[in-house]
A and B are shown apart, each in its own frame.
Chain A
């Protein structure tokens, strides 16, 4: 009985794909494989970046240094939050772009893939609106403060929670 249900499910899938896809079968399968491969590469890279993050020392910031730019604690927390996400995105930037490209290439020739994969790439692979808000807030800091924070955190991924817990209270 279960097998019949499964076959029925597959039949529905096939009907939907055949109706919606304007790509030939071989192209459809080839592009789906390309997406699978790129996602596998991306997943491996994310795991590598996570391992780097787990082993990273939290950044050390000087309250005295921060006081000269009058950076509030709230702005400092958001700046560290931005840099944490920025470094993480940078760590798997190339692999993410390759995955997004593979999904876009599939979506470009298959209406079905476009309908299914485009929301996925938007929801899972691109930075959120809040990330860009943090970036814009970071860019309003004095140039010297931006450089100081970037130098202290470096370019590698780091653990956000550990970094926030180690922050000095700059407003004191």
Chain B
């Protein structure tokens, strides 16, 4: 990707970056929300060693799967946002910002 120096973001780009940050925050929130089931399970049954062992076999593996899946889903949502910015700057013929968003797209 080419170097871009002195790039100034316009309002549309700033708004898009805010939306991307929000998607990242939601992705993190999703991980936290799903961990709630695991955490409640461990604390509710921690009196029993066997129950605790069962939790390890089921909940933690599901939790691990969920944690792996969240970044993929978040990245897909962010890519949609970046595509919209590419369309925006292509049609508005702002080639510097188009170059910037194309670089973001290719890095996803």
Contact = CB atoms under 8 A, between A and B. Distances in A.
A25 B55 CA distance: 14
B51 interface: no
A25 B43 CA distance: 11
A131 interface: yes
Interface residues of A, number: 45
A141 to B, nearest CB: 15
B33 A123 contact: no
B68 interface: yes
B41 A29 contact: yes
A117 interface: yes
B77 A123 contact: yes
Q: Is the interface of B mostly helix, strand, loop or mixed?
A: helix
Given A25-B40, A36-B69, 4 more contacts: A14-B40, A32-B36, A39-B30, A128-B80
Contacts of B34: 32, 35-36, 39
Interface residues of B, number: 44
Contacts of A145: none
A113 to B, nearest CB: 7
A13 B39 contact: yes
Nearest to A82: B87
Contacts of B59: 29, 33
A36 B73 CA distance: 12
A44 to B, nearest CB: 8
Interface of A: 10, 13-14, 17, 25, 28-29, 31-33, 35-37, 39-40, 42-44, 46-47, 50, 74, 77-78, 81, 84-85, 88, 112-113, 116-117, 119-120, 123-125, 127-128, 130-131, 134, 160-161, 164
15 contacts: A33-B59, A33-B62, A35-B66, A40-B65, A42-B69, A74-B91, A77-B91, A85-B83, A116-B30, A116-B32, A117-B33, A119-B29, A123-B22, A124-B27, A128-B84
Interface string B64-88: 0110111011101100110110110
Nearest to A164: B90
Contact of B63 (A36, A128, A131): A36
Given A14-B39, A84-B83, A161 B106 contact: yes
Given A43-B72, A113-B33, A81 B43 contact: no
